[in-house]
Amino acid sequence: MDKNKQSYLLFGVFSAMIGISFLTDFSLGVRIGENFWIFAWDMLRILPPAFLLIGIFEVWANRKTIEANFGSVSGPKRYIYAILLAATTVGGTFVAFPVANSLYHKGADYNSIFTYVTAASLVMIPMSIMEASILGIGFTALRLGISLPLVIISSALLGIYFKNRSYVLPKEATG
């Protein structure tokens, strides 16, 4: 059985179990179904506009501009741009990975991509505002002050590691 048929079969079994749970009032299955619906609804609201913006980015962003600001010739500013781009990314890692793929194809180096993907889950502006309102500005500043240098250091080390091994993403992985 190929992967597509197996995936459809697995989803069909999952859907049948959820349906049976609703019919028999099996509370665990009902809660799983409700949580699945909430998650699916959130993804249906977030992903289409995000992928539309990614498509626009793919068409409008000039390769030379990406190389100049996110490539190996850009120096330390690539980390700042990657963090700023990550802060404005809506949808977390669901959106960060397709954007990272687009950056890779436009000439961004691994350092920038690693910084972007990691920072996308750390510095989202709405999340940081909510965190500051609940836990205080001091806590948020401390978290960012500790996290961001570690993100940059780990991204630089991973970038060096990949560069020393002349690593290139396989064609199948890059779409």
User: Which amino acid belongs to residue 97?
Assistant: F
Rg (CA), the chain: 20
3-state secondary structure of 123: coil
> Which tops the pLDDT comparison, 51 or 149?
149
Query: How far is residue 25's CA from residue 30's CA, in Å, rounded to a whole number?
Result: 7
| Model pTM score | 0.76
Question: With bands split at pLDDT 50, 70 and 90, how would you rate the model's confidence at 49?
Answer: confident
136 token code pair = 């205080």
With a cut of 60, say whether residue 174 has pLDDT above it: no
pLDDT for the residue 173 = 61
Nearest to 117 by CA among 146, 72, 159, 63: 159
